[in-house]
Chains A and B, each alone.
Chain A
Amino acid sequence: MQIGAITITTTAEKPSRTPVGRQPVRWYQYLKWGDWVLYALIGLLAAVMFALAPGRLASPGTGAVLERGGEVILTLSAADLAASGSADVVSGAYHYHLVYTDGRIRFAEADCPDKICVRTGWISRPGQIAACVPGDLILKLTGTGDPDQTDDVDVIVR
């Protein structure tokens, strides 16, 4: 019987067939140096992208726009988001239920195939997005928290 690194041999038990002095091989002992490089590179890439992603700064003036095929089909102001409410949207064959409260918004329900939009969860900071490819929808947060987002404000005016 073997528990972790300690081998307990009772008199009733047959001796282990593993030769003496041979340690069990763990999965990471198969790794080559290139594997470790890949772990580091992929992790680094993820970290850099995460650092570049918008939505790190909270902003009191955060509103939301829902775009379908590049066109804005729903605009919610910061005041709308601060109050509680919901919106139902139909895009193609799919139905979506959006819920917003306390300055945040999410796809609460959808009947699209993979439900990536719903799993994205709450978004609350300018620049954050939730997307649904089958329904061709992008929910974007707009606001003053990030100077790069001023372009999106122009879109609402149009």
Chain B
Amino acid sequence: MNRSSRNIRRLTLDALLVSLALVLSLAERWIPLELLVPVPGIKLGLANIVTLFAVLRLQGSDAFLIVVTRSLILGAISGPTTLLFSLAGGLLALALMLLAVRGHEKIFSVIGISLAGAAAHNVGQVAVASLVLQEPLLLLTYLPPLLLTGLVTGTLTGIAAYPVVKRFRLPVERAG
């Protein structure tokens, strides 16, 4: 496979994953999870499945592009607050997942990488909120319940991502 066709393959795959992440982000808004678990700001984090896949099966730059593009488009749909939250949570989660993926198979399973992403996502979002409102107490108030529910949602998205990651050993060379 020559260089240009490999690039087209990569572009197509990344674009596909961005749209998948967007659909998941929008679809999870229709799940009234906060009615079942009354934690302010709780989310399933379904788009985390896409980031997990990208981190485990593609290159770091692909994962970065997917997260940033998804945040930009979500921001265009839902406004600047969403953009800020999505970028902060998404990028911090990506950074920790890229760290954790180095220990994949040896130290962490897919679920562990998902847990790291979920926790980092929550920390990033609440940190941005407390920066915007200049109130550090927001961290202590809003973060603990989100971290605890993140253990459950992170496990669930990790389990959901596992078969995808396991079965799709794409012909996209990590080293390429």
Complex partner residue of B143 from A49, A55, A136, CB under 8 angstroms: A49
Instruction: Let me know if B141 and A113 touch, CB within 8 A.
Output: no
Instruction: Let me know if B148 and A32 touch, CB within 8 A.
Output: no
Instruction: Let me know if A49 and B140 touch, CB within 8 A.
Output: yes
Q: How many residues on A have C-beta within 8 angstroms of the other chain's C-beta atoms?
A: 36
A-B contact count (CB 8 A): 109
Q: What is the CA–CA distance of A120 and B142 in the complex, to the nearest angstrom?
A: 9
B binding-site residues for A, Cβ under 8 Å? 34, 38-41, 78-79, 81-82, 85, 100, 103, 105-112, 115-116, 119, 129, 132-135, 137-145, 147-148, 150-151, 155, 159, 162
List 6 tightest A-B contacts by C-beta distance, closest first.
Answer: A34-B107, A35-B112, A53-B140, A119-B40, A46-B147, A50-B144
Given A45-B147, A70-B134, A114-B81: 20 more A-B contacts, CB < 8 Å: A27-B159, A32-B106, A34-B100, A38-B116, A42-B119, A43-B148, A49-B139, A49-B147, A52-B140, A55-B141, A113-B79, A119-B40, A120-B142, A129-B137, A131-B129, A131-B141, A133-B81, A133-B129, A133-B133, A136-B133
